[in-house]
Amino acid sequence: MYKVFVNDKPLFLTNQIVKETDFKFFLLESIDIEQLIVNYFQNKIQKAYLYHPDEKEILNTLKTKIKVNHAGGGLVYNKKGEVLFIFRGGKWDLPKGGMNKNEEIENTAMREVEEETGVNGLEITQKLQKTYHIFKRSGKYRLKITQWFEMQTDFDGTPVGQIEEGIEKVAWLNPDQIEDALKNSYENIKLLFEEEKKLQE
């Protein structure tokens, strides 16, 4: 099952038939995806399931209905065990960005972290999960698939937010501060930290 966020609300892609209770259930093959997304953005839908019988084909089927953007991002730790966060659009987020043509996704993730925060000397320590969300650009809805990587750095300078990307501040946050920041963050980022916690247990 995949969890895609639309306006920070969940859209599940599933090969299980689920009885409706507090959500809507649709067939992925026949759904008008644009109309469904509009209903999410207008708060007419809080949660929905899209059904397709073949789990391996679910994501490919969705990709035939909506343009896909690939992105890479970093969950970056410094020597003190703090995590690098950016603040933009009134929310805490992690640095990430779109893939250039013919670029390896690992290079995308490291380049974007460096561009958005000024932090360099990055080393990927492990590949994390992918997250999925739908956004609007130039009047069209897109599915953004972000591949996340855990990274380490010895950087001890002052991080600087990329102004042209609307980044208001960059901060290293300790575990207590992270907990606080996640209360004002995106569902995908919360998901990433839940997964990170499991990996460290």
* Rounded mean pLDDT for each run of 10 residues along the chain, 201 residues in total: 94 86 87 95 93 93 95 97 97 97 96 98 97 92 97 95 95 96 96 82 64
Residue 122: the pLDDT is 98
Q: What is the pLDDT of residues 32-59, one digit of tens each?
A: 999 999 999 999 999 999 999 998 899 9
| Through-space distance between the first and last CA atoms of the chain, rounded to whole angstroms | 24
pTM across the whole model: 0.91
CA-CA-CA-CA dihedral for 77, 81, 86, 92, to nearest 10? 120
Quote the CA–CA distance of 136 and 143 in Å, as a whole number: 9
- Where in the chain are the domains? 2-63, 67-200
Report the pLDDT value the prediction gives residue 201, as an integer from 0 to 100.
64
Homologous superfamily of the 67-200 domain (CATH): Nucleoside Triphosphate Pyrophosphohydrolase (3.90.79.10)
> In this structure, what token pair is assigned to residue 154?
């010895």
Residue type, 180: D
Q: What is the DSSP string of 77-119?
A: E-TTS-EEEEEETTEEE--EEEPPTT--HHHHHHHHHHHHH--
